[in-house]
Structure 1
Amino acid sequence: MNHAPQPFLPRASGPPPTYQVLKEEHEVDVLGAPPTPGPAPTVISIRSEVSVPDHVVWSLFNTVFLNIFCLGFVAFAYSVKSRDRKMVGDMIGAQSYASTAKCLNICALVFSL
């Protein structure tokens, strides 16, 4: 193996090389198939995740500590239904159940105070 130090860039000896201006013609197809067969393009679809809070922790707190008129327990039931709807993918149903659970949690908090 040769361990002699070598320069990073070789030294140019003589005149610099001459460069030619290349003329290229490109045709652009507005619509149609690609001119050369090749691999199909990869399409990645990204779903935007809609965050629907299910208020399970708040409902559990109201069930344990502020359970007046059983509103905390009912709110907890709606929170679990909201979480189930979210797991299935029904965001509209999950939002509906979560809204009901939120209202019940607010009522339980106000009545308890």
Structure 2
Amino acid sequence: MSKKYQIQKSPFIVPTTDGKLIEEHFGKATNGNSGISIAHMIAPPGWSEPFQTPEFEEYTYIIRGKKQFIIEDEKVILEKGQSIKIEKNTRIQYSNPFDEACEYLAICLPAFTMEAVHREKS
């Protein structure tokens, strides 16, 4: 009989050039799951990404530090213990303009892919 669960002990480390740690525990890169992705991330101080308009919903939970979101034209800052849901097809920019690293979990429905994130040229 096969197990009814899967423990992830070796998440996929997404290669980055901006100092951000991305460990995908479940998702397209880790186990081929296109329905959901769950990633643990650490964004260093001063980190930011270009604006994007993803084809997926994204949920973020802040473990420590703070993270800035520019959602459409509104600036939102989340702190430790707070979470947010961002609807798909929403223009957003993620950043950490603060003095300490921000550790958080990100869950995307359906799963994150580079083809579905639609990052703008910076």
TM over 0.5: no
The TM-score normalised by the length of structure 1 is: 0.22
Give the number of the structure whose alpha-carbon radius of gyration is greater. Answer: 1
Query: Which structure has greater strand proportion?
Result: 2
Q: TM-score, normalised by structure 2?
A: 0.21
